[in-house]
Amino acid sequence: MANSKRLYLFDTTLRDGEQSPGVSLNVDEKLEIAYQLARLGVDVIEAGFPVASPGDFAAVKKIAEKVRGPVITGLCRANRKDIDRTWEAVKGAESPRIHTFLATSDIHLKHKLQKSREEALVLAVDAVAYAKQYCSDVEFSAEDASRSDLDYLAVVIENVIEAGATTVNLPDTVGYAVPEEFGAFIKNLRERVPNIDQAIISVHCHDDLGMAVANSIAGIINGARQVECAVNGIGERAGNASLEEIIMALYTRQHYFGRQINVNYNEIYRTSRLVSTLTGMPVQPNKAIVGKNAFLHEAGIHQDGVLKERSTYEIMSPELVGVKTNNLVLGKHSGRHAFKERMSELGYELDDEELNRAFARFKDIADKKKEVTNEDLEALVTSQVRAVPERFSLSYLHICSGTSIVPTATVKLTIEDKTYEAASTGDGPVDAACHAVDKITDIYGKMHDYKLNAVSGGKDALGEVISRIEINGKMFNGRGLSTDIIEASVKSYIDAINRYYFEQQRYREV
């Protein structure tokens, strides 16, 4: 008999999360996140939407073949072409799943699908039955379930379970529900669908009204045994229910909820940092669980209470979620062994090539700042060591700028052990340097977004620049790291160009 207390965590960071405006991950970045999600201990990884593009298909296929532990699934519409493509992508997984969906609300049926209820029912049942021929584990999602007619939705759910669906997902697709209503909705369906016990009920809530986590929790209380969420709550529009908030709510109030999850709690913070870095979406300081301020206390009364007894103002410990409070530093005199040990403590197992690159970058940074913190090291690895291969690398940068002169930049790039130099002017020092890079690479980018983050504190803090660059009609995220913000900006621009070049080379190989 199945454990009714067991709750399954379904992570959609790589599918719905990547649909966040401005986010575009390459295959290797998706694989890196998938490995980390497996270390965290999620039960299901939705690796992408295989039919959407060759890149998405390649990412899902690679994750399915390499990542062990979680169920690996891909999303597909309720048609046979999509299902064929999804099976091709996930069939190499240790535990594959096909996840097919069809809208059930009258709004979607009329205006998007232009189908009657009866036609949609036939499509849903056929899709599940067809997917079942490939895979024993089939999930069906009733898109816009929370705005669907309850009687009709109950019929759809009953029939797809009869056709072989092992999980039925009831999404609040547009974030319209409120917790009490959504909880009653799940409870009502459990009572209406006679064969509901033959499948796991899942919920997938969006955050348009800021209630995705609350709605998800309401669904869990009323019988949902799978919850679909994303790291940092990223996703379409205002995003999804936040994975880390769901996990820690269930942990902190476990006597109230009485649900069992199997996760490595101390991997939460590192997972959040990795996703934030690779997607270019910074975490707001006051974000629950993983925000910079989540465990800080400024008010005197709070500080006094915490010093006397932490539980006065902390309901969970930062160490539990992987926030390192013992932040001993490395410096320019630290050796390779100490550096390797610290990276291992932070959870990064680097191969020889990665270790050599990381140690060289560490020494460069250590020469420029007195102390290198854990945050610096994490940024170094995720931003630079595990970036795409460098076709173009910055070897020299000279800027001439001021209030009464035209900004000028001279740039030297190394390309296959040869150095090329160009100079240019621009609206500012960064613009001038980027124009010089364009001259050398003959690849011309247009900057759409620019974010500068201080990785750690102090006047010598590392600056991390995350930019969105349009090249030939497609967006690429670039990342640069330096104690000099102009250098970090130029490195970010060059990183985006490297990503473009790397993607073009892959398409040529295919």
**Residue 318 counted as domain residue:** no
pLDDT of the residue at 164: 98
pLDDT of the residue at 85: 98
Beta bridge partners of 230: 242
Does the structure show a pLDDT above 90 at 490?
Answer: yes
Where residue 243 falls among pLDDT bands split at 50, 70, 90? very high
What's the Cα-to-Cα distance from 70 to each of 241, 243, 250, 509, rounded to whole Å? 20, 15, 20, 30
* Distance separating alpha carbons of residues 11 and 17, to the nearest angstrom: 9
**Residue 148 counted as domain residue:** yes
pLDDT of the residue at 31: 94
| Same domain as 232, residue 375 | no
Q: Which residue did the predictor score with more confidence, 466 or 346?
A: 466
| Same domain as 122, residue 227 | yes
* Amino acid identity for residue 331 in this structure: G
Does the structure show a pLDDT above 50 at 394?
Answer: yes
Cβ neighbours around 416 below 10 Å, total: 6
pLDDT of the residue at 504: 85
> pLDDT per residue over 63-98, tens digit each?
999 999 999 999 999 999 999 999 999 999 999 999
Looking at every residue in the chain, the average pLDDT score rounds to 91
The DSSP code for 291 is S
Does the structure show a pLDDT above 80 at 1?
Answer: no
> pLDDT per residue over 97-106, tens digit each?
999 999 999 9
> pLDDT per residue over 216-232, tens digit each?
999 999 999 999 999 99
| Same domain as 253, residue 219 | yes
**At 272, which CATH number?**
3.20.20.70
| Same domain as 257, residue 377 | no
| Same domain as 194, residue 241 | yes
> pLDDT per residue over 348-392, tens digit each?
778 888 888 888 888 888 887 777 877 788 778 766 655 677 899
Of 279, 290, 293, nearest in space to 243 by CA = 290
**Residue 242 counted as domain residue:** yes
Percent of the chain at pLDDT exceeding 90: 67
Does the structure show a pLDDT above 90 at 343?
Answer: no
Enter the pTM of the model: 0.85
- 358 in Cβ contact with 397 (< 8 Å): no
| Same domain as 22, residue 163 | yes
pLDDT of the residue at 3: 74
**Domain membership of residue 350 as a residue range:** 336-385
pLDDT of the residue at 300: 63
| Same domain as 182, residue 238 | yes
As for how many domains the chain has, the answer is 3
Beta bridge partners of 198: none
Q: 């069809």: which residue's tokens?
A: 102
Beta bridge partners of 202: 169, 226
Where residue 124 falls among pLDDT bands split at 50, 70, 90? very high
Does the structure show a pLDDT above 90 at 340?
Answer: no
Does the structure show a pLDDT above 80 at 139?
Answer: yes
> pLDDT per residue over 286-334, tens digit each?
999 999 888 876 566 665 665 677 778 778 888 899 887 544 567 777 8
Tokens linked to 393:
């690398």
Longest dimension (CA), the chain: 78
Burial 302-329 (b: 16+ CB within 10 A, else e): eeebeeeeeeeeeebebeebbbbeeeeb
| Same domain as 214, residue 186 | yes
Q: Which residue did the predictor score with more confidence, 401 or 370?
A: 401
pLDDT of the residue at 310: 73
Compute φ and ψ for 187, nearest 5 degrees.
-60, -45
Beta bridge partners of 201: 168
Does the structure show a pLDDT above 80 at 413?
Answer: yes
Beta bridge partners of 288: none
Q: Which residue did the predictor score with more confidence, 404 or 398?
A: 398
Percent of the chain at pLDDT exceeding 70: 94
**Residue 263 counted as domain residue:** yes
> What are the strands of the beta sheet with 393-400, ordered from one edge?
393-400, 408-415, 418-425
Mean pLDDT of 12-30: 89
Of 345, 401, 383, nearest in space to 496 by CA = 383
| Same domain as 434, residue 402 | yes
